[in-house]
Every structure is written in C-alpha cells, then in structure tokens.
Chains A and B, each alone.
Chain A
Amino acid sequence: MDALDVLWRLLAVLLAFLVLPLLVGQAEHKAMAHMQGRVGPMYAGGFHGWAQLVADGVKFAQKEDIVPSGADRRVFQLAPAVALLPYLVVLIVIPVGDGDMVGQVVDAGVFFVLAVMGVGVLGSLMGGWASANKFSLLGGLRTAAQLMAYELPMLLAAASVAMAAGTLSLPGILDAWQWWWLPWQIVGGLVFFTAGLAELQRPPFDAPVADSEIIFGAYTEYTGLRFALFLLAEYAGIVVLSALTAVLFLGGWHGPFADTLGWVWTLLKTAVLAFVVIWLRVSYPRLREDQIQRVAWTVLVPLALFQIALTGVVKVVIQ
C-alpha cells in the first residue's frame, strides 16, 4: 500500500465524514417535518431548502466563540473535538464493499470500533464537567450513567456476531455472513441498534439533553462553531451507528449483484437505518432517566445475554 493509496482512502473517508452527516441532518429536517404535516426548510439553496445545513453552518461560524469565565478553559474547548473525531476514526475501518473497499482493515475491528465510539461520549462528559454550570453537570452525569448502562448490551450484541463469525475483523464477519444470520441475530441487532441510539443520546433516550429539564445538558454553555461540532458529532454518530448495524447484522454489502454493487447495498442499508433513527425520534416521547436505566438493565442486557446463548447453541449444533 503506497502513500498515494493511503491518501486516497483517507480523502474518501473524510469526504464521507463531511457529507453523510449533513445528508442525514437534511433528511431529518425534511422527514421530521413531513411526519408532522409540515414541509420543513424550503428556501435555502432554492430547491426544497437543500442547503439549509450549509446556511446553518455559516450562521454558526459567524457567532462569537464564548467560554464561560468559570469554565475549565482547555477542557471546555477541547470537548467538541473529542466528541467528533472518534466517529471519523471509526469510519476508516467500516467496510463499504467487498474485498478492498475499506479504509483500513483492522484485525480486531469490532473491538476497535466499540472502544473508539465509547471515546466519543467522553466529549459530552468533558463539556458537562468543564462548563461550570449545574445543568451542564447534570447532563454530563446523565450521559455518564447512560454510557455505563448501554455500553454493556451493545458490547454483548456485537460479541454475538463476532462469535458467530469466529472473527473480530469487520470484513471477516462480512465474508462469513449468510442470509440466515438475519433471523438468527435479529435480537442482537435490535439490542445493538437500541443501545447505540441511547449512546448517541438520540430521542427517545435523550434525557441527557432534555431541554425541558436541564436546558441542553452538557452543551448548554456552548455556542458558535463548537456547538455546531457537537451537533455534527450527533449526526456523524447516526451515520456510524447505522453503518455498523448494517455491517454487523444486515450483511453489509451482501445482496443481489454484490460483486459490482456491494457498496450501494451498504449505503442503502445505512440510509434505511438512519431513517429509522429519525423516525423513532419523531414517534416516541422522551424516556425518563430511571426508565432509561430500567430499559438497559432489565430488557437489553438479558436480551443480549439470550442472544449470546442462542448464538453459542446454534454454533455448536451446526459444527
């Protein structure tokens, strides 16, 4: 692999990282609006408000960058980067197509992905602690509680797939994937997706940023470009979560004409899952903090354990 090839791949990943979250954001604007009987942005860019997020970005860039006087300056300023960059790193190892269509093959891909995604949540924690604001602190603590509760079922569900494939490598998992894994791993898939939603603090698991209780949680004191980076991190998180779920549980590039159109299948499955994320946001009210904890420990963890047992049993039987 020469330097030019590496550069190419990094550029492609960066482009996907910059474009896909905006697409998801725009899709959320429009889908949410139509689900509520509205039309959403209509003016920016001329055609059905396609450039709304570009306009938002310009607006955010124009705003003053404020750091509260009581804040822990360095940590406060660093938090958005910590929240955003892990998703860029994760995108590098997600295989888009068969064979070589992946930024970088990592042997312990599942492990790497889950570990790095956990770092992203750290950004909210840093912001919440460093803001010197009680609402931010409450939001940060809720984030921490949510991270503790949902990392476990997410990990267990991912482990089930790794067990089934006998490898931790994401392309390796896809190579071993068969269509009947879909019903076999469906419970794990649901657990993984739900836990991922909770880790992204997406509705209905958005108690850490519950505006009616704690203003905007850890992001209360943020403004301008740093706030925009936090928002971008949320949408990059949706892309990463959808892509990961598609790769681990929906067979990634598998599908008709997979040898030529594999990448289309990956993107299509990712897009459908991203739409589901938006759909859930519009449909469900926010869970209370204790309800969030209860869902994690009494529903998702037992289900994930059940999935692991099922995977183990089937694995032994077919051998």
Chain B
Amino acid sequence: MAVPGAGLAKGLAVTLRTMTRRSVTAHYPDVQPELPPRSRGVIGLFEENCTVCMLCARECPDWCIYIDSHKETMPAAAPGGRERSRNVLDRFAIDFALCMYCGICIEVCPFDALFWSPEFEYAETDIRDLTHERDTLREWMWTVPEPPALDAAAEEPKEMAAARKSAEKLAAKEAGEGQRPSGGPPSASPPRSSGATPPSSGSTPPSPSAERPGRAEGEGDA
C-alpha cells in the first residue's frame, strides 16, 4: 500500500536532487570539448607521401576529392640507363561541403598520405570556401595527433613484427657469417642496406620522418 502523494514527493525529490548536481551542459565556445581518440574532424594531406595513385579520388563515394597531376621524366640514374618518369601533384583538394566523413580515402591510401585530424572549427559563410586546397590540407597535418597507444595486451603491429623478424634474421645471418672460416665466399656482400634496417625506421618511407605522425602503431583501429 503506497502512501498517498508518495509519487508527488518523489517527483519533487528528483528535480531537487538534479538541481544540486553539476549540469551536463557542454560550454563549447568557452570550453573546448574533450574529443575521443580518432575523432573525425578534418582530413589532412601529407603530400610528401602522395604518389598521385588516385585511389582516394576513385573510392570517394561523394567524389569530393579533386586531383590534378602531370608526369615528369627524371634523368637516368646511371649513364646509359633508362629515364624514369614520376607523377607530380599539381592540385589536391577536398570539398568538405560534399565530404561525408566516411574515411574511406584514408583507409585506401596505400602510402599513408591522408590522416584524420580532430580539428572541426572550419565552418565558412561561403560554401566555396569549404573546398580545402592542397596547402590548407597540408596545414591540417600539423594538427594530426599521435595515434593512441595500443592496449597492454594487444597484438604487435604488423609492420613492427615484420621489421623485427627481418632484423632478427639479419642478425642471425651476420652471426653465422662471423663463425664461418675467413675464406668465405668472395661474393659475400655487405648486409643489404634496404629492407632490413632496424625496426625503428623499417616502416618509414624515405621522407621527413620526424614530423610524420606514424600510423603504423594505430593499425588496430580497423
């Protein structure tokens, strides 16, 4: 048997208790929000890594990535050799008025040239200003955070595992060579300089690696 008016008192108690607690309002313009890791704010372009493969532009469901490029020929590395050609990026633009923040371009980029940045305050009064050109996209790269650390029990990232394996193999080989008699095969070349370097730089393409927010350790987010 409920006491008459118990429900009424309960209602009053709930509102009074809520009043004494801290409000849940986010004071956004005054206080920046605490964004979760891997927040999708804006896409940054690390153009030094871009090879103009066009995969991002082709996979984009909204067709909001614009890429122009031209081909340059490079003189032969050795006399008598063949000339090499390579793609040079002329324009890379993302229309954030069309972008739906699916992140497919970032997923498909085989050279780690696109990254999510948590910056989100780039509203414009003119919709045309939402098309961010190459220099703007490059500027966003400075806001890309370090990838969050892996969980304690997480599997080792694939790149790290591969690099470590080859380094171990190399070390074992060197050790084996050291035990061999000095009259070894004359063709024994010095250790390969590429592909088997120590793991710290094993997965880094030749680029200014100091400012590159490596994605290798963040592979677990897929």
Contact = CB atoms under 8 A, between A and B. Distances in A.
Contact of A283 (B11, B21, B25, B27): B11
Chain A at the B interface: SS class: helix
B14 A37 contact: no
Q: Which of A35, A36, A37, A42 has the most CB of B within 10 A?
A: A35
Interface in A31-75: 31, 33-39, 42
A39 B11 contact: no
Contacts of B14: 283
A interface, how many residues as a size bin? 10 to 19
A38 B25 contact: yes
A35 B19 CA distance: 4
A268 interface: no
Contacts of B3: none
A282 interface: yes
Contact of A279 (B16, B25, B27): B16
Contact of B15 (A38, A39, A42, A282): A282
A284 interface: yes
Interface residues of B, number: 13
B32 interface: no
A33 B21 CA distance: 12
B19 A34 contact: yes
Contacts of A282: 15
Secondary structure at the B interface, as helix, strand, loop or mixed, is: helix
B12 interface: yes
A248 B27 CA distance: 44
Contacts of A284: 8, 11
B200 interface: no
A279 B18 contact: no
Interface in B1-27: 8, 11-12, 14-16, 18-19, 21, 23-25, 27
Interface in B118-170: none
A284 B27 CA distance: 28
Nearest to B25: A39
B197 to A, nearest CB: 56
A217 B18 CA distance: 31
Contact of A31 (B11, B19, B25, B27): B19
B12 A279 contact: yes
A283 B23 CA distance: 17
Nearest to A36: B18
A283 B15 contact: yes
A262 to B, nearest CB: 29
B21 A37 contact: yes
A33 B23 contact: yes
Given A284-B8, A284-B11, A37 B24 contact: yes
B18 A34 contact: yes
Contacts of A283: 11-12, 14-15
Nearest to B11: A283
A33 B22 CA distance: 11
B18 A37 contact: yes
A35 B12 CA distance: 10
B23 A38 contact: yes
Contacts of B15: 35, 279, 282-283
Interface of B: 8, 11-12, 14-16, 18-19, 21, 23-25, 27
Given A33-B23, A34-B19, A284-B8, 7 more contacts: A35-B18, A35-B19, A38-B25, A39-B27, A42-B27, A283-B12, A283-B15
12 contacts: A33-B23, A34-B18, A35-B16, A35-B19, A37-B23, A37-B24, A37-B25, A38-B23, A38-B24, A39-B23, A279-B12, A283-B15
